[in-house]
Structure 1
Amino acid sequence: MILVSFFSFPSKPLIMALSNSSWRPPRPSFFLVGIPGLEESQHWIALPMGILYLLALVGNVTILFIIWMDSSLHQPMYLFLSMLAAIDLVLASSTAPKALAVLLVHAHEIGYTVCLIQMFFIHAFSSMESGVLVAMALDRYVAICHPLHHSTILHPGVIGRIGMAVLVRGILLLIPFPILLRKLIFCQATVIGHAYCEHMAVVKLACSATTVNRAYGLTVALLVIGLDVLAIGVSYAYILQAVLKVPGSEARLKAFGTCGSHVCVILIFYVPGIFSFLTHRFGHHVPHHVHVLLATLYLLVPPALNPLVYGVKTQQIRQRVLGVFTQKN
């Protein structure tokens, strides 16, 4: 009994010694619960989740195909939209297949390395999506405040550099997540109360010190959300100032209409994300299954709705989609 207790529940000095040594215990596989507290109805939850994933696949592939095929759409707004569609495809595909497998066929086990890879892709591409939304706000600012210089300011070279900056930022900010997690020791608890490998859910399972992981995770979240929301807010403050100077209500409505789809996408992405972040950090009275549902839907709703928003609100996209189906008929 003493030996069992010793190896099952290591003392703090032993944990610190293991953390500072080069030896590491075998990496555990993790057990994804799915939606804690709703195990009996998880197959019903999988149905809307599967529909959202299907919408994300069909919608974003359609957006990418139309923009790629139509050279008249090779403009800043649509090039940024194609970036958003590609990121949404990766984001949804990083989350939905494993979550659906957990909910439908009870494939709860996930390997340690696979878990870290999934976690990196989810958080990195969420950061990239936020960066693309900032770039789209910049495009709307230039189009409305400097319309005569739009094509010279946002030429293809600049757009390519912006896209590369968004990609590099997402990778550099999030690559420390799996690196720091590999330094943690997991003793006995390997059950993740989630449908996917979420950073803080994995950190909470460690039996070694996690101060650095928690501090870095909070710093990245505040940097990405805080700076990106601030940049978008400043862009739209200048846009609002410029639109209010335009004579005639019809011209103002037309100017606002060019920003309508982007504003909808911003709300779809940031509002659930900020709410999920706040409930995770401070909402101790929010039921855990509510938090898990919100966190999972946050990764699936934007990729599913973004193509619909741009398809309905953007005339050029809508006409191209209708044209494709008309030609087939």
Structure 2
Amino acid sequence: MLILNHTGVSHTVFRLLGIPGLEDQHMWISIPFFMSYVISLLGNSLLIFIIFTTRSLREPMYLFLCMLAGADVALSTSAVPQALAIFWFHAGEISLDRCIAQLFFIHSTFISESGILLVMAFDRYIAICYPLRYTTIFTNALIGKIGVTIFLRSYGTIFPIIFLLKRLTFCRNNILPHTVCEDMGLAKFSCDDIQINIWYGFFVLMSTVTLDVMLIFISYVLILRAVFRIPSQDAHHKAVSTCGSHVCVITLFYGPGILTTLTQRFGHHIAPHIHVLLANVCILAPPMLNPIIYGVKTKQIRNQVTQILFPKVI
């Protein structure tokens, strides 16, 4: 592939390599990618179906969970089919417009999930600290407004990145050592000044995901303080168990992302394929495991799943 270093040419077509350095292992690597995608689609679709068809589950907590499941499906579908096309058919060629569209949907969906997890933390805070006011606070109208706000925030903050990337001239290279397109991974191949891209990316990170993490932490500090004031051991245990699933999902969602950020910032000696694999864990793990976590730890969902899959047992 020809590499051009003058500003007279701007690449409009790029090539995704997949997992750099492990090209000969792509067929084997595709197996966990494919299995995680299938599990994600089936698990989250089943979760959405159960919540929509079970009248007793049409409560705020489950409606937010339904939003999370929908975002999980969108996140997986934005990234995994492209990776499988590279692994199976060496179809890594992607146009600039498709590349920008892909990173737009991946980043915006990731921010949407972060916002949903924040709202779910607030939901648990109200349920435990103000149980008598819970139903009056979380009305259907408010839940709808929250959903729209999450959508507008995620897409609104990422939308300017489209124009920040479209203004650039990509003359350095057109080989992307990754399974998906990413903002700075694409911008670094530009011959133009990308300081505004860097600073806007930092602003997006701080105003969305970082802010969400801080507010979630504060919510759980308040929740724990309220829980330890409960005199009844049964109520104490019930309050903790209602938050268990959410804490697991939060750890699963933010943990790989924090680890990936740290390795990219400080792990310069780490092989490139490790960075790419860690980045893919952020996309593969949460959508696959979230429905399993809620299915195992939430009795109402577990009973509905059992009734659907094993109707003769119930």
Q: TM-score range by the shorter chain?
A: over 0.9
1:187/1:76 Cα in 2 relative to 1: closer, same or farther (>3 Å)? same
1:309 aligns with 2:293: yes
1:221/1:251 Cα in 2 relative to 1: closer, same or farther (>3 Å)? same
* Displaced runs of 4 or more, over 4 A: none
- Displacement of 1:27 in angstroms is 4.8
Query: Structure 1: 5+ residue runs without aligned partners?
Result: 1-6, 19-24
User: Are the counterparts in 1 of residues 19 and 177 from structure 2 also a CA contact under 8 Å?
Assistant: yes
- Displacement of 1:26 in angstroms is 5.6
Which among 187, 202, 223 is matched to residue 207 of structure 2?
A: 223
Q: Deviations over 1:284-326 (max 9, x none)?
A: 2222110100101211110000000000000000001111123
Indicate the SS of the match to 2:310. helix
User: Are the counterparts in 1 of residues 249 and 293 from structure 2 also a CA contact under 8 Å?
Assistant: yes
Which among 178, 182, 195 is matched to residue 211 of structure 1?
A: 195
The number of aligned residues is 311
Alignment of 1:248-263 (within 5 A): 248-263=232-247
1:8/1:247 Cα in 2 relative to 1: closer, same or farther (>3 Å)? closer
CA RMSD of aligned residues (A): 1.5
- Displacement of 1:276 in angstroms is 1.0
Indicate the SS of the match to 2:311. helix
Give, in whole Å, the separation in 2 of the partners of 1:314 and 1:248.
22
User: Which residue in 1 is equivalent to 2:169?
Assistant: 185
1:277/1:247 Cα in 2 relative to 1: closer, same or farther (>3 Å)? same
Q: Which amino acid aligns with 1:9?
A: N
Greater shift in the superposed pair: 174-183 or 247-256: 247-256
TM-score, scaled relative to structure 2: 0.96
Give, in whole Å, the separation in 2 of the partners of 1:202 and 1:188.
11
TM-score, scaled relative to structure 1: 0.91
User: Which residue in 1 is equivalent to 2:114?
Assistant: 130
Q: Deviations over 1:53-101 (max 9, x none)?
A: 0110000000000011111111000000000000000000000000011
Give, in whole Å, the separation in 2 of the partners of 1:92 and 1:228.
22
Give, in whole Å, the separation in 2 of the partners of 1:43 and 1:88.
25
Indicate the SS of the match to 1:30. strand
1:163 aligns with 2:147: yes
Alignment of 1:16-95 (within 5 A): 27-95=11-79
Give, in whole Å, the separation in 2 of the partners of 1:296 and 1:302.
11
User: Which residue in 2 is equivalent to 1:4?
Assistant: none
Indicate the SS of the match to 1:327. coil
Please tell me whether Structure 1 or Structure 2 has the larger radius of gyration of its CA atoms.
1
Indicate the SS of the match to 1:46. helix
Q: Which amino acid aligns with 1:229?
A: V
Which among 108, 123, 148 is matched to residue 132 of structure 2?
A: 148
Indicate the SS of the match to 1:175. helix
Q: Sequence identity of aligned pairs in percent?
A: 45
Q: Which amino acid aligns with 2:24?
A: E
1:176 aligns with 2:177: no
User: Are the counterparts in 1 of residues 10 and 169 from structure 2 also a CA contact under 8 Å?
Assistant: no
Give, in whole Å, the separation in 1 of the partners of 2:108 and 2:249.
19
Query: Structure 2: 5+ residue runs without aligned partners?
Result: none
Indicate the SS of the match to 1:324. helix
Indicate the SS of the match to 2:15. strand
User: Which residue in 1 is equivalent to 2:255?
Assistant: 271
1:190/1:64 Cα in 2 relative to 1: closer, same or farther (>3 Å)? same
1:106 aligns with 2:93: no
Q: Deviations over 1:191-247 (max 9, x none)?
A: 001000011111111121111111111221122221101110111011001000011
User: Are the counterparts in 1 of residues 76 and 287 from structure 2 also a CA contact under 8 Å?
Assistant: yes
1:8/1:90 Cα in 2 relative to 1: closer, same or farther (>3 Å)? closer
- Displacement of 1:328 in angstroms is 7.4
User: Which residue in 1 is equivalent to 2:178?
Assistant: 194
User: Which residue in 2 is equivalent to 1:287?
Assistant: 271
1:9 aligns with 2:5: yes
Give, in whole Å, the separation in 1 of the partners of 2:116 and 2:5.
46
Which among 216, 225, 231 is matched to residue 232 of structure 1?
A: 216
